[in-house]
């Protein structure tokens, strides 16, 4: 070949090679194989992921989380004087969230085993970052969830709330049915719920099709704004302008108006035709707040209750309060596990979809970490660069877990308030969730041991765990802190629930003998709400009532809905759950958070396989790539 042609050919090869490289999309996620002692593994992590860790820290904390927390400062400062920037300037100029995260991180550090501190120091050194920044990155979930819960509760405390619901025009007394499921038939007042509470199942059954409903709302500080009232019935929307809706101010026995109460009566234009009806209530008040801007009214969360109509034939506890999504909420984190008769090959499979706060950046910083320590089992988990844990994982002993957050006021930040009241500081305490999950990976030999570790923790928040092992054991655990007055742990045993789907496990069924979270003996599922711990907190402090999760959490009804939808999918595919069917179930639209999806995983502990979908929103849109924990790095 002539020299000129040879050079031209070489140049063409180089250009084609560069073009091919340029055409390759960036990786959706990172994979880390880490070996050696804790510090060494941390250093490898930091060194290999330096630029991404710095990007994650800056993007998530500095541009997303810190501004978000700062927006909540006025709501918190209204009750906790410590965070009033006028009285305490150190919390002004945007420093509120920075100090909140740093102070809690330092307090939580005392509960972190030395091996994980060494690993975080290794990450910091490898990434050329300050150790305190890595500590904040590894503890912000615990602090932020509790602070978010308190803020959301305080916002709800100043908003309207449903206090009564009554059926009118068609009495439930005399129909020979226990309509409200209280164990008594045709008692006086069966048409009225005078002390409303949120329930995961129907509030009434066998309601006459021609009945109309009165809903009373109360606002402590203002009046309900009639223009803000919206009643949704399975997708149909009624407002003040709707002829079916009447909005009035009720009166007391002497005829005096109850100005803080509002009665909303819905008279359907035609009798109910659906066998199950869900009614959702939305409203705001007349009190306008200017902080944080823009000016806004106080709005209640969307409240919902369910009924069945004449002829349905099921008691309240068998009618889920699921309704339909109105587009204002997304499914929360979910997990489910299957074994034996639920799968065609008998293999155990655990699936987990974690959704919390993507903020347009978390999915870009995902990583699969595979640890091969000097001693103990190897293990793998999915998470984010710079963070030494993940919310789903597997060890070489064949133990798998999925962990979901579960809103509760039974947490150490509320404990601080119960100790110091208006001078309280929102400083967290207890065992950070991520390092408990690492303990499970490094110490548990089966699902029973994993559940025992979760059950015995001192939690920073509310958590729902699901465990499976290669031997076929399935376990669910719910935990909360259980604080009392003075911040003292009231009764740790009351703040835990631990059960299996196994026949004969009394802890696994409710008061009616119905399994908490299983369709049959070989499946179990978890969402973002408590079931055995449903009455997790109730305390009247005068200025406001601390209420259980189901009465204030923004996740509650969406979690109830997701769990009911998941139950339907499990029943439909029982016996068919091979890997492809589990993945298809994970991708069902009614189960997928389209905005804050972060990671999705299917684990087969008997095969040592972890299948991860990462790097997109939602994560389930990605392919599930397989990692074999039995293979050497």
Domain boundaries, the chain: 40-156, 160-318, 334-405+443-628
Q: Are 603 and 468 in contact (CB under 8 A)?
A: yes
Stated as kind and residue range, the H or E segment containing 598 is: strand 597-604
Residue 17 has pLDDT above 70, yes or no: no
pLDDT tier at 633 (50, 70, 90 boundaries)? low
> CB-based contacts of 377: which residues, under 8 Å, 6+ apart?
395, 396, 397, 441, 442
Residue 13 has pLDDT above 50, yes or no: no
Dihedral (Cα; 139, 141, 142, 144), 10-degree rounding = 110
Q: How many CB atoms lie within 10 A of CB 299?
A: 17
Q: What is the pLDDT of residue 272?
A: 87
Residues 504, 487: Cα–Cα separation, whole Å: 37
Q: Name which CATH class applies to 334-405+443-628.
A: alpha beta
Q: What is the pLDDT of residue 328?
A: 77
Share of the chain above pLDDT 70, in %: 93
Residue 25 has pLDDT above 90, yes or no: no
Residue 190 has pLDDT above 80, yes or no: yes
Q: Are 600 and 619 in contact (CB under 8 A)?
A: yes
Q: What is the pLDDT of residue 327?
A: 75
Q: Are 620 and 585 in contact (CB under 8 A)?
A: no
Residue 575 has pLDDT above 80, yes or no: yes
- Give the tokens for residue 137: 């990155």
Q: What is the pLDDT of residue 632?
A: 57
- Give the tokens for residue 398: 């064949």
pTM across the whole model: 0.93
- Residues 460-515: tens digit of each pLDDT: 999 999 999 999 999 999 999 888 655 555 555 568 999 999 999 999 999 999 99
Q: What is the pLDDT of residue 493?
A: 55
Q: What is the pLDDT of residue 484?
A: 67
Residues 500, 494: Cα–Cα separation, whole Å: 18
- Residues 449-470: tens digit of each pLDDT: 999 999 999 999 999 999 999 9
Mean pLDDT of 553-578: 97
Distances in whole angstroms, Cα of residue 562 to Cα of each of 200, 204, 477, 529, 585: 12, 21, 19, 10, 12
Share of the chain above pLDDT 90, in %: 70
Residues 619, 597: Cα–Cα separation, whole Å: 6
Q: What is the pLDDT of residue 252?
A: 93
Residue 340 has pLDDT above 70, yes or no: yes
Q: Are strands 463-469 and 545-546 parallel, antiparallel or unpaired?
A: unpaired
When mean pLDDT is compared over 25-29, 173-177, 398-402, 547-551, the highest value belongs to 398-402
- Residues 63-95: tens digit of each pLDDT: 788 888 888 888 888 888 888 888 888 888 888
Tell me phi and psi for residue 262, to 5 degrees. Answer: -140, 130
Q: What is the pLDDT of residue 491?
A: 52
Residue 620 has pLDDT above 90, yes or no: yes
Residues 495, 477: Cα–Cα separation, whole Å: 11
- Give the tokens for residue 280: 């959702």
Residues 16, 10: Cα–Cα separation, whole Å: 10
Place of tokens 């703040």: 495
Residue 162 has pLDDT above 50, yes or no: yes
Mean pLDDT of 379-391: 98
Residues 109, 120: Cα–Cα separation, whole Å: 11
Q: What is the pLDDT of residue 457?
A: 92
- Residues 120-134: tens digit of each pLDDT: 999 999 999 999 999
DSSP string, 35-101: EESHHHHHHHHHHHTHHHHHHHIIIIIIIIIHHHHHHTHHHHHTT-GGG-TTT-GGGTTTHHHHHHH
Residue 8 has pLDDT above 90, yes or no: no
State the number of CA atoms in the 13 A half-sphere of 573 facing the CB.
23
Residue 99 has pLDDT above 70, yes or no: yes
Strand blocks (E) in 374-473: 379-384, 392-395, 399-405, 463-469
Q: What is the pLDDT of residue 485?
A: 58
Ramachandran class of 242: left when φ > 0, alpha when ψ lies in -120 to 50, beta otherwise: beta
């Amino acid at each position: 070949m002539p020299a000129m042609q040879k050079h031209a050919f070489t140049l063409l090869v180089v250009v084609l090679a560069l073009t091919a490289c340029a055409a390759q999309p960036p990786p959706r996620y990172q994979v880390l194989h880490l070996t050696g002692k804790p510090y060494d593994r941390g250093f490898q992590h930091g060194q290999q992921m330096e630029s991404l860790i710095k990007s994650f820290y800056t993007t998530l904390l500095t541009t997303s989380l810190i501004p978000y927390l700062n927006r909540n400062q006025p709501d918190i400062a209204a009750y906790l004087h410590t965070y009033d920037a006028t009285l305490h300037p150190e919390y002004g100029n945007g420093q509120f969230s920075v100090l909140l995260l740093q102070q809690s991180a330092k307090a939580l550090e005392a509960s972190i085993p030395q091996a994980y501190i060494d690993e975080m120091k290794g990450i910091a050194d490898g990434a050329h970052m300050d150790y305190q920044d890595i500590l904040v990155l590894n503890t912000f979930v615990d602090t932020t969830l509790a602070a978010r819960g308190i803020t959301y509760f305080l916002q709800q405390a100043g908003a309207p709330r449903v206090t009564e619901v009554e059926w009118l025009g068609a009495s439930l007394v005399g129909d020979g049915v226990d309509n409200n499921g209280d164990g008594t038939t045709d008692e006086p007042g069966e048409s009225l719920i005078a002390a409303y509470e949120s329930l995961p199942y129907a509030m009434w059954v066998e309601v006459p099709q021609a009945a109309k409903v009165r809903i009373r709302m109360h606002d402590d500080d203002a009046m309900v704004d009639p223009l803000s009232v919206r009643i949704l019935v399975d997708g149909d929307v009624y407002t003040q302008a709707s002829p079916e809706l009447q909005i009035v101010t009720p009166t007391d026995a002497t005829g005096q108006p109850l100005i803080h109460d509002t009665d909303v009566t819905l008279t359907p234009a035609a009798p109910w035709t659906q066998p199950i009806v869900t009614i959702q209530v939305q409203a705001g008040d007349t009190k306008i707040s200017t902080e944080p801007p823009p000016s806004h009214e106080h709005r209640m969360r969307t409240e919902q209750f369910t009924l069945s109509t004449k002829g349905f034939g099921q008691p309240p506890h068998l009618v889920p309060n699921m309704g339909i999504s109105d587009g204002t909420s997304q499914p929360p984190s979910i997990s489910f596990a299957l074994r034996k008769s639920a799968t065609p090959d008998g293999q155990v499979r655990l699936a987990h979809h974690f959704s919390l706060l993507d903020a347009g950046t978390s999915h870009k910083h995902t990583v699969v970490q595979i640890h091969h320590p000097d001693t103990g089992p190897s293990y793998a988990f999915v998470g984010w660069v710079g963070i030494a844990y993940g919310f789903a994982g597997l060890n070489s002993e064949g133990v798998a877990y999925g962990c979901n957050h579960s809103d509760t006021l039974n947490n150490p930040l509320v404990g601080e308030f119960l100790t110091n009241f208006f001078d309280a500081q929102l400083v967290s305490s207890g065992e950070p969730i991520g390092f408990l999950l690492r303990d499970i990976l490094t110490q548990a030999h089966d699902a029973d041991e994993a559940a025992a570790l979760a059950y015995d923790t001192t939690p920073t928040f509310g958590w729902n765990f699901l465990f499976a092992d290669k031997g076929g054991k399935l376990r669910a655990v719910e935990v909360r802190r259980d604080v009392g007055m003075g911040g003292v742990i009231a009764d740790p045993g009351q703040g835990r629930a631990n059960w299996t789907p196994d026949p004969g496990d009394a802890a696994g069924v409710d008061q009616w003998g119905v399994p908490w979270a299983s369709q049959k003996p070989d499946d179990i599922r978890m969402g973002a709400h408590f079931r055995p711990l449903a009455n997790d907190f109730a305390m009247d402090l005068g200025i406001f009532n601390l209420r259980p999760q189901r009465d204030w959490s923004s996740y509650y009804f969406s979690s109830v809905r997701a769990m009911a939808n998941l139950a339907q999918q499990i029943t439909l595919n029982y016996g068919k759950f091979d890997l492809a069917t589990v993945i298809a179930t994970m991708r069902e639209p009614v189960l997928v958070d389209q905005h804050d999806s972060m990671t999705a995983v299917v684990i087969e502990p008997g095969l040592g396989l972890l299948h991860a979908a990462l790097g997109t929103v939602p994560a389930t849109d990605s392919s599930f790539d397989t990692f074999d924990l039995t293979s050497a790095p």
